[in-house]
Amino acid sequence: MKRVGTILQSSESSVYRLGGDEFVLFLEMMPEDACERMVCQIEAACQKESISVAIGLAWSSCPETIEALWQRADDAMYEQKRQQKTDLLDV
């Protein structure tokens, strides 16, 4: 858990631990492509440390409630988890 926290803190964003193994990063005023690059960098850093992660990204350029944004990120994370399980079964 500490290794993941260290990786996330290096992302230069606001990082919060929700509990257990869930974290949230708030990336304000960052273009979508920069957010996607940051996710790729986090995934690569975790993979280098042999840490399995599922990341849900939600980005918006217009006003949206935090609840709606949060739900989209959560849905994306669970979709990535489902895909990871499918990939493991296909091996």
pLDDT in tens, the chain (91 residues): 788 888 888 887 888 888 888 888 888 888 999 999 999 999 999 999 999 899 999 998 888 898 999 999 999 999 999 998 888 887 6
Q: So what's the pLDDT on residue 73?
A: 92
Rounded CA-CA distance 60/16 in Å is 20
Q: How far apart are CA 49 and CA 58, in angstroms?
A: 25
**In one letter, which amino acid is 1?**
M
The whole-number pLDDT of residue 91 equals 64
CB 58 within 8 A of CB 72: yes
Q: Minimal CA–CA distance to 28: which of 17, 19, 15?
A: 15
Q: Is the pTM of this model over 0.85?
A: no
Asked whether 38 and 50 are in contact (CB, 8 A), the reply is no
